[in-house]
Amino acid sequence: MARFILGRLVKAVFILLAILVFNFFLIHAAPGDPAAVMAGEAGAGDPTYLAELRERFGLDQPLYVQLWIYIKGAVQLDLGYSLRQQMPVAELIADRLPATLLLTGVAFVLSLVFGVIAGVAASARQGSWGDTIISTLALLFYATPLFWVALMAALVFSVWLEWLPGFGYQSIGAGYTGLAHAWDVTKHLILPASTLGLFFMAIYMRMTRASMLEVSRLDFVKTARAKGLKRRVIQRRHILRNALLPVITLAGLQAGQIFGGAILTETVFAWPGIGRLMFEAINQRDYNVILGVFYISAAMVLLFNLITDVVYVIIDPRIRLTG
Amino acid sequence: MFKPIRHAAVALALVLAGPLAAQDATPQDGGTLNVVIQPEPPSLMLGIVQNGPTQMVAGDIYESLMWYDFDLEPHPLLAESWEISEDGKTYTFHLREGVTFHDGTPFTSADVKFSMDVFLRKMHSRMGQYMQHVESMETPDDHTVVFHLKQPFGPFLGIFEAGTAPMIPKHLYEGTDFANNPANNTPIGTGPFKFDEWVKGSYIHFVKNEDYYLDGLPHVDEIYYHVIPDAASRAVAYETGKVDVLPGGSIENFDVPRVRDMENTCITDKGWEYFAPLSWMWVNLDHKPLDDVKVRKAMMHALDRQFARDALWNGLGKIATGPVASTTKFHAADTPDISYDPEKAKQLLAESSYDGETIQILGLPYGETWQRWAEAVKQNFEEIGINSEIVPSDVAGWNQKVSDRDFDVAFTYLYQYGDPALGVSRTYMGDNADPGSPWNNVANYQNPETDKLFDEAAVMADHEERRAAYKEIQDMIVADVPNLWLLELGFPTIYRCNVKNPVNTAFGVNDGFRKVWIEKK
């Protein structure tokens, strides 16, 4: 197992490097550059001013030189400097990381737990009214655009019912500490986390349900029943454990996105996370910030793919890891 | 098929009359002001970054020598008084005494000289050009500054506002690398509020400057600028009471009627007189058949701008009559007619060299309103028989396309900066047409006569002489229709009626909330 993990990590480094180079060219292929965007926002385009900005940002260098400088830094885990915000990219990302992890992490756990439970419940009595309700809801959540759900949730729970704050990470200027602060953040977290979680919850539910039904028709389940095992035990130990593999594959994918944030949800709910940082950086062509977020996200996806593979082994002993 | 929604405009006119009438109560001290800021500014160092959001927030921190009323007349701020020599070449400013920066250092003439002559000349997006008119600067004593100009420069007295000429503390910046000075993260000025904290992606917090030099000001204790990236969420933030002031352009135009009808809500379109944002479509004069003045005239007369104003801009703003906005000095009223007249447009088109070419319309990627406006224009063109298609882009892509002159017609809007020599000539001067910038003479309009007049008018000392020159310029340019002028945009500031005086000057909410006070209910 150790050899397998080591081998994968070595490969990951090369994949990461390839992703970096690819991203670098991708971003530079987009029209416009940060200097033009900044001058544009100032509504002035004195050519000497633009030239001064480009020189300050190092954009007057040939592309391969810029790439070399970036790769050299990235290899040493130096993500460079935000041209626009005049701050180290690592610092910018670190600032946004707690909020993002809280949002995507909670959404991940919520959607996985409730999705699997709902899937198991629905599959237990296929065709019953309970199954119909759960399946219909899941289809609805799966098909509704996220931004619409987000806006409606804000409208209903924040504007009409006034139960929950509609945006932000905390009550600004309230100066809460300790438990009061935790409760305040929790209240702010409910709408964005459940909005973000709904879509994945629907996927997990559908996947769990389908997979459970499929496994429950297999011979070994019949055997278990014939042995006289209790229905509950068969469900949990025989069916669910086998049915979880596809769910884990998906969970691994979602987990990889945890560090990338959630652009739509963060934007609608003014959640100060990484998704927004990246989206704004793309609009502003703040190259180093975009590359920095991509770099970290890519690393996380690779890491979680590896973890997923290891989890397979734990859940299903038939699977062997070979480097 | 378009029907103007006139009742909306009437209702709005009634609402607009409201807030200006009631301002006579005694100001109350204290309270917190919650304001929306969009998008999040890249930096608060106004001497280096001059975009809208930076200016709006940093206008509380940095100040300049004067403030300007709604008629753009200058009034004393950091300068107590000033004199202009007979020949219009020497300006002497007498500075207010006892002014200190937020760190306690006194503000003196040395700071003015450093700001204008060193810092802004190098770092500011526009000041470099303005300072080319200045031969030298003198500081005979701590509270006197003298500018010697090369020749008279008409707009000179109009550049001493915070966004153009912010006063930078010399003791923090002299001899440093301005762009990377750590002081940029903790901006220090002379203004009514002091920087406290900036949580990126969330909010910016300012506190009252207790040592402010104007007696009794500012009134409010603190200001929070809330960063809310989604336009619909910004409307929700106001509706739920999280913020009290929505600066112009914070919410989508179609949300404005709903929000302004709320209880205790006031709206004003004042505070944009200096910038006077004027929208138009560039016409690429190097592309056929757009070099034909008849095609351009046909396009101009095809545009139903009344509809755009009423349906897309909630009846706010004015239909533009030419290159100079009506709120600024030197606007000429009776220029050649460019009004909506589809019949005339069809006739002009028939006489022109237009032969069914598809005109590429580059919309402005600034949200829904602009997208819909491009669609309305496309329809207007089709109604007189011009084929067109809309080219999508994002902000950076738009910049690039306009800089590279890769379009047929392109939406834009630009600030006028109070004077045609600052805000208008740059987009029509023949020698300012090189590709590479989206803010110069993008259309590549070449007219030696107007070039000469623009040059002369900028350096005339006499106001009336200038007026006559600009009238002639406007007549000639409007007759040529190098651009399709659209609207003098209205960006209404929406606020709770118990927030008093949010807009006091020609810069509106950009000018610092020194006079704002909150009436307790």
Domain ranges of chain A: 2-89, 92-322
Helices first, then strands: H and E counts in chain A: 14, 0
**Domains of chain B (ranges, CATH numbers):** 2-11+18-27+45-185 (3.90.76.10), 278-488 (3.10.105.10)
Which residue in chain B is spatially nearest to A95 when comparing CA positions?
Answer: B200
Give the pLDDT score at A145. 83
User: Between B129, B185, B200, which is nearest A95 by CB?
Assistant: B200
Average confidence (pLDDT) over A59-68 = 86
User: Between B224, B236, B437, which is nearest A47 by CB?
Assistant: B437
pLDDT by residue for chain B (521 residues), tens only, comes to: 333 333 444 444 444 444 444 445 788 898 999 999 988 888 899 988 888 889 999 999 999 999 999 988 999 999 999 999 988 899 999 999 999 999 999 999 999 999 999 999 888 888 888 898 999 999 999 999 999 999 999 889 999 999 999 999 999 999 998 888 888 889 999 999 999 999 888 899 999 999 999 988 899 999 999 999 888 889 988 988 889 999 988 888 888 888 989 999 999 988 998 989 999 999 999 998 999 999 999 999 999 999 999 999 888 889 999 999 998 889 998 899 999 999 999 999 999 999 999 999 999 988 888 999 999 999 999 999 999 999 988 888 888 898 889 999 999 998 888 889 888 998 999 888 888 788 889 999 999 999 999 999 988 888 889 999 999 999 999 999 999 999 999 888 999 999 999 999 999 888 889 999 999 87
* Residue A157 near chain B (CB below 8 Å): no
Shortest alpha-carbon distance between residue B73 and chain A (Å): 23
Residues 93-152 of A with CB under 8 A from B: 95-96, 99, 151
Complex prediction ipTM: 0.79
Residues of B within 8 A of A38 (CB-CB) are 42, 49, 51
Which residues lie closer than 8 Å to A238 by C-beta, 6 or more apart? A215, A220, A221, A224, A229
Average confidence (pLDDT) over A54-80 = 84
Angle at B326 between CA B324 and CA B329, to 5 degrees: 75
With residues binned 3-state (H G I as helix, E B as strand, rest as coil), the percentages for chain B, rounded to 5, are: 35, 20, 45
* Residue B180 near chain A (CB below 8 Å): yes
Give the pLDDT score at B148. 95
Q: Does residue B468 or residue A315 have the better pLDDT?
A: B468
Is-contact B72 B273, C-beta < 8 A?
A: yes
Give the pLDDT score at A150. 82
Angle at A147 between CA A110 and CA A186, to 5 degrees: 40
The burial class, CB within 10 Å (0-12 / 13-18 / 19+), for B381 is: buried
CA distance A77 to B306: 57
* Residue B40 near chain A (CB below 8 Å): yes
* Residue A85 near chain B (CB below 8 Å): yes
CATH number of A92-322: 1.10.3720.10
Give the pLDDT score at B362. 95
Pick from A38, A240, A57, A164: nearest CA to B50:
A38
Residues of A within 8 A of B43 (CB-CB) are 84-86
Residues of A within 8 A of B235 (CB-CB) are none
Shortest alpha-carbon distance between residue B226 and chain A (Å): 9
Is-contact A85 A92, C-beta < 8 A?
A: yes
Give the pLDDT score at B406. 92
- Determine, for residues A276 and B394 on separate chains, whether the beta-carbon distance falls below 8 Å: no
- The 10s digit of each residue's pLDDT in B96-144 is 999 999 999 999 999 999 999 999 988 888 888 889 899 999 999 999 9
Element (H, E) at B288: none
Q: Does residue A114 or residue B366 have the better pLDDT?
A: A114
- The 10s digit of each residue's pLDDT in A136-192 is 988 888 888 877 888 888 888 888 888 888 778 887 777 788 888 888 888 899 888
Tell me the CA distances in angstroms from B365 to A79, B375, B392, one per residue in order.
30, 13, 8
Please give the backbone phi and psi of residue A45, each rounded to the nearest 5 degrees, phi first: -140, 45
In angstroms, how far is CA B58 from the centroid of its own chain?
15
DSSP B133: G
* Residue B415 near chain A (CB below 8 Å): yes
Average confidence (pLDDT) over A99-125 = 90
* Residue B450 near chain A (CB below 8 Å): no
Q: Which two tokens stand for residue B49?
A: 């970054």
Tell me the CA distances in angstroms from A243 to A130, A238, A275, B125, one per residue in order.
20, 9, 32, 62
* Residue A54 near chain B (CB below 8 Å): no
